[in-house]
Amino acid sequence: MTVAGAEPTQDAAIRRNSGVSLWRQISDRIRRLETDGQLDPDGRLPPEFRLAEQFGVNRHTVRSAISHLVQEGVLRTEQGRGTFFRSRPRLAYPIGRRTRFSAGLEGQASTLQMVLVESATIRADERVAVGLNIEVAATVIWLRTIGLADGEPVSTAESWFPADRLPGIADAFRRTGSVTAALSLLGIDDYTRRATTLTATHASDDDLARLKLAPGAIVLVAVGVNVDPDGRPIQYSETRFSADRIELTIESA
């Protein structure tokens, strides 16, 4: 007679022709490894060939399972190194009338930083012109910035400013490292966010590079307009947040 329950809970074997695909069963099993604590302290998964042995399937079947978990954001793979669990709590980024990077994330990370990657003087295309309420092809200053929390990139933004009103915005930003401070330097002491549109898509190649994401990652895209106290648009921006690292909060008080 077999004594049931004599050993620690044993997972059922992977079953073929059960109506559930093998990669799916394996994927679920891997997911549980984390919570069950059967894992290296560094969150490293055994190599693919070993998992394949353990589960009694081909390496490709394991790869399929892993690939789905990567897309879900549960795992992260590094060629030549291994596959790792990822678990980081998200930072809460408030979006509202007064949306500001550093002030918004204050207290949630020990260092906050906004760096200017690139800037140029260009002509407004239609959506920028509409956003800033200027004419198409009017001159605008374009900035690309990256927001860092604890040195890790959490957002990347493109901003467009009307050149006639804020010709020195790029320099001012470079000196201060903040939109708020830069605008203040140029005589605009306050501004508010008029409207924000939010979408979510898979990260583009640019996103992957700038935000150091893995293929399949998700970005939250916030498009909005900031206006001065008189209601005149001074900044049109598109910010792309890593959905793994950021959640957006909307205070509608």
Partner DNA sequence: TACTATTTGTACGTATGTATT
Partner DNA sequence: TAATACATACGTACAAATAGT
Q: Which residues bind its own copies (CB under 8 A)?
A: 68, 71-73, 90, 92, 95-97, 99, 192-202, 215-216, 218-220, 243, 247-253
- In whole angstroms, give the CA distance from residue 216 to residue 104: 27
Per partner kind, with CB cut-offs from 5 to 8 A, the member of DNA, its own copies, none near residue 249 is its own copies
Contact between 13 and DNA by CB under 7 A: the answer reads: no
Per partner kind, with CB cut-offs from 5 to 8 A, the member of DNA, its own copies, none near residue 196 is its own copies
Which lies closer to DNA via its Cβ, residue 60 or residue 174?
A: 60
* Pair 146, 156: CB distance under 8 Å: yes
Shortest distance, position 199 Cβ to its own copies, whole Å:
5
* Pair 39, 46: CB distance under 8 Å: no
Query: What residues are paired with 212 via a beta bridge?
Result: none
Q: Where are the alpha helices (DSSP H) in 157-204?
A: 169-176, 179-185
Q: Which amino acid is at 168?
A: G
> Which residue, 20, 25, 66, is CA-closest to 46?
66
* Pair 102, 176: CB distance under 8 Å: no
Which lies closer to its own copies via its Cβ, residue 83 or residue 226?
A: 226
Stretch 77-116: interaction string toward DNA, x if CB under 7 A: xxxxxxx---------------------------------
Applying CB under 7 A, which residues contact DNA?
16-17, 19, 21-24, 45, 47-49, 56-61, 63-64, 66, 77-83
